[in-house]
Each structure stands twice: as C-alpha cells, then as structure tokens.
C-alpha cells in the first residue's frame, strides 16, 4: 500500500488537476491484504515489481492495473492480464 500512496503522490504532482488521493483512500479502505510468498525466481526486469505478480497469484487476481513498463511487458504471465489504467477504465468501467 505504501508503494501505491507513493506513486499517487508523484502522479498528483504531475497532474495537479486530478485529485487521486480520494481514490487511494478508497482502495486502502476496501483492500484485502494478501500475504504472498515471493516468486520462486525473478520474472520482471525490475525485481521490485515481482511482488505485484506474487500478490496477484496469491489472491487469484485476473488483472493487474499498472502504468509500469516492466509489468506491462509481462501481460499474460500466468494468465494475468496487465493493463494500463485508461485501458481498464475503457474496457471495464465505461458504458458501451
């Protein structure tokens, strides 16, 4: 959760017209904390990002939403879809 808050604060500086902190607060209130084992071997070009894959696998998640280029390259890993936030909104949240 600390990583999400840190990224949100960086994005808030970059996009001051968007108030992302209420969204982060919402995630923190409704998040289910998963204790995930580390992956058996590194998968991502940025080993710090392996924790997101490990967490998704432990939780049985089908989707990771991220703008991280290292994670996005792993789209389809263990049948997990990794997509940018805009793509997620367009695909899952917008009316058709």
Which pLDDT value is given to residue 37? 94
Quote the domain boundaries for residue 7.
Answer: 1-31
Residue 55 and residue 89 in one domain: yes
Give the integer Cα–Cα distance in Å for 77 and 57: 10
Strands 81-83 and 63-65: parallel
Mind giving me the DSSP string for 52-65? HHHHHHHHT-SEEE
Q: Are residues 89 and 44 in the same domain?
A: yes
pLDDT over 90, % of the chain: 50
Question: Nearest to residue 75, comparing CAs of 52, 41, 47?
Answer: 52
Looking at the structure, do residues 79 and 61 belong to the same domain, yes or no?
yes
Indicate if 79 and 41 belong to the same structural domain. yes
**CA angle at residue 62 from 74 to 79, to 5 degrees?**
50
Q: Are residues 62 and 88 in the same domain?
A: yes
Write out pLDDT tens, residues 23-45.
Answer: 788 888 888 888 999 999 999 99
Q: How many structural domains compose the chain? A: 2
**pLDDT (mean) for 78-92:** 91
State how far the Cα of 31 lies from the Cα of 87, in Å rounded to an integer.
Answer: 21
Q: Is the pLDDT of residue 89 over 70?
A: yes
Residues 68 and 41 occupy one common structural domain: yes
Average pLDDT of the chain? 89
Residues 49 and 96 in one domain: yes
Q: Is the pLDDT of residue 96 over 70?
A: no
């Amino acid at each position: 959760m600390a990583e999400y808050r840190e990224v949100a604060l960086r994005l808030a500086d970059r996009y001051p017209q968007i108030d992302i902190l209420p969204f982060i607060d919402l995630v923190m209130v409704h998040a289910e904390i998963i204790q995930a084992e580390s992956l058996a071997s590194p998968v991502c070009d940025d080993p710090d990002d392996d924790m997101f894959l490990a967490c998704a696998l432990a939780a049985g998640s089908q989707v990771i939403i991220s703008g991280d280029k290292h994670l996005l390259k792993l789209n389809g890993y263990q049948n997990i879809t990794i997509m940018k936030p805009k793509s997620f909104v367009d695909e899952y949240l917008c009316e058709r």
